[in-house]
Amino acid sequence: MIYKVEFLITNKEGIRDPEGETVKKFIVDKVTNKVEDVRAGKYIVVNVNVSNKEDAENIAKLLLEKTRLYNPVIHKVEVRVKETENCHN
């Protein structure tokens, strides 16, 4: 079975987010001043071929431990694991 592992990486609260600030300024200047905050980040998708969701979650943990996908000092990571029939979804 193919599982889609999604990593949403954003700056922790209290850490400045220049990209989010720039996007917010554009929105406020061009669209609406009702937007209070914008946070930008990275979205990484990894498709894994494993037998169950627990194995996919374990691979996600391993990737976070063994790679430089994010900086744990300044970033927070949300991990989502979804079963998919098509690895391109």
Q: Which two tokens stand for residue 74?
A: 């300044």
Where does 2-84 sit in CATH, by number? 3.30.1280.10
Task: Give me the mean pLDDT over the 57-63 stretch.
Answer: 97
pLDDT at 82: 96
Q: Whole-prediction pTM value?
A: 0.84
- pLDDT-derived band at 71 (thresholds 50, 70, 90) equals very high
Given a cut of 90, is residue 41 above it in pLDDT? yes
Given a cut of 80, is residue 46 above it in pLDDT? yes
CA 2 to chain CA centroid, Å, is 19
pLDDT at 76: 97
Q: What is the mean pLDDT of the chain?
A: 94
Which residues have CB under 8 Å from 63's CB, separation 6+? 5, 7, 46, 69
